[in-house]
Structures are given as structure tokens and as C-alpha cells.
Structure 1
Amino acid sequence: MAETTHGPVDAATVPRRARRSRTPRFVRTIWQTKGLARWILLVGVVITVVFVMFALFAPWIAPYGYDQVRDAGGDFPKSAAPGGDHLLGTNDQFFDIYSRVVWGARTAVTVVVLSVVISTVVGVPLGLVSGYVGGWFDRITVFLMDALYSFPSLLLAIVFSFLLRDALGGGIFAAALSLTAIYIPQYFRVVRNTTVSAREATYVEAAKAIGAPPRTVMRKYLFGNVVQSVPVIGTLNAADALGTLAALGFLGFGIQPTEASEWGYDLSRALDNVGAGDVSPALWPGLAIILLVTALTLVGEGLNETLNPTLRRRRLRKVVLPPRSEEKSR
């Protein structure tokens, strides 16, 4: 028999298939995709990362605070032109526009992440339990979610903003909860419908036959199969949440200027300047909204076409045939 060694294994001797298995499946799927979907996802991720960096390092990037109207040299000028100490100028509230745009990135990212995370944490388990248990619990939850889903999203966000303002004020957390009420029914409906179809599958019946309790069946056998579309829904909801947040701020129902910088509010304050021929106060927050909404939409569409096996175009691997062995001499 051949002698077995237990020394360190050289990475070069490890088969390529074994090394590739260590890479997360999600990353491998994206890497093996070709065509426009991959570039859409890449462009969306790059732009999104830029805004996330602005959000994380806003105190070091922004020269002033989001509500700062004076420095050591005195009060800021009102509606000043770009240049000097104010790179993008100031608005009619004496705020530095560049600082407001940078701090607005932190507000937007925080609200979007909170709303999507809370919606997922509430909607996914609720849809999973409702679809698996069925009965009266399923009927009640479906009725409540359909009732919420039937309202226009902006109107529902305005209603919850009014209800939460007295209890939580006009801050970031209240705005995130106002948006959460819009997206919980979406996660619930997707997960519940998928669970209803999957609970009759053979592997679920086999788990029941060996005595697995409902909690184990849902956690171990159903959860991984019903949440595959949740990341795509989450990225698309993030883009919609940013637009809804900007709409709330534009209408005056969103985050108050003393609580945080918000692009929609700054855009509404700049309407008078636009009427007077000064577009700078409206240009930069509006451009930030457009760029981030576009980036998040590209990420969602790219993930959809990358992770969906019916839409994904896989990269063809080059086939290398082994060298032909020399014919044995007769």
C-alpha cells in the first residue's frame, strides 16, 4: 500500500474544484455570470459604496455640521454663491450646502437600512408562520396585510408619520418606522406564498414523518428555501424607501432640519431659489437623490438577473483536454 503523509498540504496541490468550494456560493454565482447583468450590478454597487462611505465618514468629510450656521468668523451668508469657504454655497437657512449633502447621505443610508431590516425581521417570520400554520391565523394576517397593502405607499407613510411624531418626534427612527409599515406586507406576501407552495414538498413531508416539530421544519427545512428572493426585494425596497423618504421631507412630514439633514427637505426649501434663478441649492440634493435611487435600483435589477437561474447567463469555462498519451509500441 502507498504510504500516507500527514504534513502540510501545498495550495498548488489542492484541486481547483476544492479551492473554489471555499468561496461563498453567492460570490461564485455573481462571478460566473456574464453579460449586462453583471455590469449593472457592479455599477450599482460602486455608486452605493461611495454614498455609504460618505455616510460613515460624514464628520470628517463635511466641513461643517448639518445644522451649523456660524463659525469662528461669524454667521454664514444667506444664499451665498459657490466658492470660498462654502464649496457649493449656502441656502436660505444659512446652511452650508455641501455639508448638508454629505450629512444627508448618512441620514438616507441609516433610514433605508433601518426600514429594510425591520421590515425583513417582522415580515419574513410572520409570512413563514402564517403560510405554514394556515387556518384562522393565516386568514387574519392575510386580511391585515392586504388592508395595509391596498393603501398608496406615500399616503400610508404620511399617516404613520403623523401617528409616530407625538411619541417619537421627527427624527430618524420615526421616519424609518413610517417606512417600515409600507414594506412589511411585501415581505409577508412573498414569503407566505412561497411557504404555502413549499409546505407540501416531499422533503417537508419526510421531516414531519420522522417527528420533526413545526419549529424545526420551518427553521431547518423551509426558511432557506423561502428567503431566496428576499435580498432582491430588499434592494428594490431600499430604492423605493429613499424616494418615499425624500417625498416625506419635501412635503414637510419627514425628518425635521434640527434632527438631521435630509435631501427632500432641502429640495423643498430650494424652490424659492429656483424661481429666482439660483439652481445650486436644489441641484445637489436632487442629484444625490437621483444617483442613490438609481444605484440601489441597479443593484436590485442586477441581483435579480444574477441570482435568478432563468435569467442568468453563465460564463463558459474553457475546456482543456488532457494531452493524448503516446501509443504504446507493439
Structure 2
Amino acid sequence: MSIFVDENTKVVYQGLTGSQGRFYGLLNREYGTQVVAGTNPKKAGTDVEGIPVYATVADAVEATGATASCIFIPAPGVKDAVIEAAEGGVKFIVAITEGVPAQDEAWFFNKLQRDFPDVQLLGPNCPGIISPGKCNIGITAGHIAKPPVEGEPSVGIVSRSGTLTYQALYELKLNDIAVSTCVGIGGDPVPGTSFIDCLKAFEADDQTDAVMMFGEIGGSAEEEAAEFISNEMSKPVVSYIAGVTAPAGKKMGHAGAIVSGGKGTAAAKMDALRAAGVHVGNNPTEASQLMVEVVNGLKK
């Protein structure tokens, strides 16, 4: 299995007719993802290399049976695009766009929770999700991930950082380790999908044998994840927290990566994770090597 998306997932691309949407929509289709539609109210009735374009997500869902959407809309339009997708009937929304106003994120996060509790939002400001060999939605390079192999352990990955997501995928592949699903949740202050959402799904997934979690400074998501791991997870978890040398009080890259006082530091997160029984690496490569040891132990 995998989590959230698989070979049966049908995806509509909101923004398929734009340069980025077109590039990644076609790239995802080439990977094997069922890219069944795009949307643009001004270009309904046209197509992008055989992918039909509809005026709305609802029209696309009715015509194609799409179950997921991927948003490549400029930041000011993401708020409306997310709600259009939910109202249109898709159950999984991937918002790639960065720079979405935090107040917009908070508004549609709460609206989805209240009015569309069965809809899962990933992002905004994330690389997307890939279930290797089955489905790739977003901007992750498919060739850097090893698909699951029957009889061999597979690892699930969840990360706040896009580039660290790619590094984890590639380093595991170099060590001949397969990945069930890799989820980039994004580093904005109000992510649609949390570490706990993914950890819970990985724990329930019979194809995921261990989990790699990449966090970073700022907020309390990693400490909350540590508590969940301690109480709910039976599968081994390996982690790395970016930002060990980051100075307090300064925003470092992601909008959510700001340390306030003694809270949200890398050291505090690492301590919490170690206390929960997590194998914590001091850098991404060390974390990958720790996962190699975990997987080798699972093979015995």
C-alpha cells in the first residue's frame, strides 16, 4: 500500500495551462500519475497535450472522476482554489504554491476542518507527495526514489523541508532502500497536513516498516510528533532537525522556522524525539545511515 495517493488516484491540475502547472503536470503524467484534467475558466474546452481543460474542478470531477487536485495557482488565488477543489468533490488537495498569506492559510485550514472534514490538504508551500512507482503529485523528481519491492522493508518519509525531502529519498535509494510514500508537508506556519497526520497514516500502512521524519526549528510540531510517537507508534522512527546553529529570534528560510525564546530550538526538538525513542541524526546523511541500520535490523 501507500498513504494518501496510489496508482488509482486521478488528479486534476488547477493551473495546468500555466508554465509551471504544464511542466509538472506533464512530468507527473510521464511518471505514471493519472493526470486526467486541468482547469482554467478562460480555456475550458481546450487541452494540454491531450489532457482536457475544464472551467472548474467540479466540471473536471464530473467528467473524469478525479479524486485529487494539485494547485499551481499564484499565491493570491490559492485561497479560492483550495475551496473550489473541496467544493468540487476532490478528497486530497496538494497546494504547491509558496508565498500564500498566513491569514489565508489559517482561513481555509479552519474552513476545511469545519465544512469539509473528509478533505485532506497538503501544503501550501510544499514539494507535494510521491508514492514511488505509483503516483507523483507535485515537484519531486521521481527518479530519485526507489519503489517498494515485495518482501523487502519500505520506509515512509515526512518532511517540512523540500530539499531535505529530496536528499532523504536519494540517499535511501543509494543504499537500495525503498520508500512507500514520501510527503513534503511544507514549512509554512499553518500546514494543511501535520507530522502527526502522516505518522498516524504510516503506522496504519502495512507497506511501511519504518519512518523518517525531517523537521526544523520553529513551532512545536516536532515536540507534538514526539509525544505521538511515544504513545502511538510501534514502528521505528529516524529523525533529523535542521537549524542547530540558527540564532534565536531570526526567521530562517521557511515562514514557520522562527525560534522564540527557548521554544522551537533544534536542541529542544531533538531532546524530545530522543526521549520518545527516536533515532536522531546530527545531519541528514547521518540520519540516512541510521535508517540503513534500522532497515538492516528489520531484514534479520
Q: TM-score, normalised to structure 2's length?
A: 0.26
Q: Which has the higher helix share?
A: 1
Q: TM-score, normalised to structure 1's length?
A: 0.24
Structure with the bigger RCO (C-alpha within 8 Å, sep 6+) is 1
